[in-house]
Amino acid sequence: MITLRGLTKRFGTATAVDDLTVDIGPGQVTGFLGPNGAGKSTTMRMVLGLDRPTAGQALVNGRAYRALRHPLHEVGALLDATGIHPTRSGRSHLRAMARSSGIPDRRVAEVLDLVGLDGRAADKPGRTLSLGMGQRLGIAGALLGDPPVLLLDEPVNGLDPDGVRWIRRFTRTLADEGRTVLLSSHLMSEMQQTADRVIVLGRGRLIADAPLAELITAGPAASVRVRGPEPAGLAALGARLTAEGATVAAYDADGLTVTGASAARVGDLVYELGVRVHELAPVAASLEEAFLELTADSVEYAAGPTGSEAR
């Protein structure tokens, strides 16, 4: 269990985390989301005792990190996959970590096997490791003490598709074992397949804390996309749908986006009006859309319009 109570961190006049109160419990994967500069990494650093809070508390199983007698047995973390000496092998790196906490050497072999690093990869010096191999090594380090609490900051960064799928399944397994898993990522599509619950920060403040399905449902509604070669027919279809209470918008020169009507109803009207279409597809609501809507006023760096929007 991770417990945050009124957690605040200021750097001079800048507030990185602002009065954050939330409980992160076991048995589920909790996604930790927010735009760049939202305060996610600073929050994780305070949980791990790397940054001292300006106010409030960050507790692991009811205690501050600095009060844990055997921290590697209580909480494992991956914050920086490059945090290994350039000339030391991954295996040596893990052995040093293990010995500092009274963990037997055999555990090093176990976690290397868990994360899929064979002997050849584990014995390479740190400077030769790819980013993906570094991520796997970092996760192995987080697992050394078999902790009940895990914090993983962008663990899929640098992984190939097979590695991304492995992370998804592995974090699911850890949560199913009853562990607390806090997972930060900017990949919304991946988070939608991984998280049970989502916490969203914006400018250091809590914006949302809800089950994933609830957050998506509360976001932009699902829609139907229609594309066809007959502008007049699409216009008639749009007028009919609008009269029935749907919201219709053009998404390009030969297509419509319909919100507030099912794909079945749109298809019935296409048939009834005799409109020739090349595409009629439901577009499910997504975490990405919900996230963008929630954080629209919290983005620190916003790009200007592009393409047709700039004209």
Residue where one domain finishes, among candidates 187, 203, 218? 218
Whether residues 232 and 207 fall in one domain: no
Same domain, 35 and 75: yes
Which helix (H) or strand (E) is 191 found in, with range?
Answer: helix 188-194
User: Does one domain contain both 227 and 193?
Assistant: no
209 and 246 belong to one structural domain: no
Examine the domain organization and report whether 31 and 136 are in the same domain: yes
Q: Which domain holds residue 274?
A: 223-284
The whole-chain average pLDDT of the chain stands at 90
Q: What is the structure's pLDDT at 87?
A: 87
- Give the least confident one: 94-98, 143-147, 296-300: 296-300
Q: Give domain status of residue 247, yes or no.
A: yes
Q: Looking at 63-67, 187-191, 270-274, which range is the least confident one?
A: 187-191
**Residue 103 domain flag:** yes
pLDDT class of 302 with cuts at 50, 70, 90: low
| Whether residue 143 has pLDDT greater than 90 | yes
What is the predicted pLDDT for the residue at 52? 96
307: pLDDT strictly greater than 80? no
Q: Show Cβ contacts of residue 163 under 8 Å, excluding neighbours closer than 6 positions.
A: 132, 135, 136, 156
Residue 257: the pLDDT is 92
pTM surpassing 0.85? no
Residue 10 has pLDDT above 90, yes or no: yes
Asked whether residue 111 falls in the same domain as residue 195, the answer is yes
Task: Considering only residues 22 and 189, tell me which one the structure prediction assigns the higher pLDDT.
Answer: 22
Same structural domain, 237 and 105? no
- One domain for residues 257 and 186: no
Which secondary structure element, helix H or strand E, spans residue 11, and what is its range?
Answer: strand 2-11
SS3 108: helix
Amino acid at 66: R
Q: Which residues contact 4 (CB under 8 A, 6 or more apart)?
A: 20, 21, 22, 23, 24, 43, 47, 56, 57, 58, 59
- Domain match, 270 and 191 both: no
List the structure tokens of 196: 């049970």
Banded model confidence at residue 311, pLDDT cuts 50, 70, 90? very low
Q: Give the phi and the psi of residue 121 in degrees, each rounded to 5.
A: -70, -40
In a domain, 146, yes or no: yes
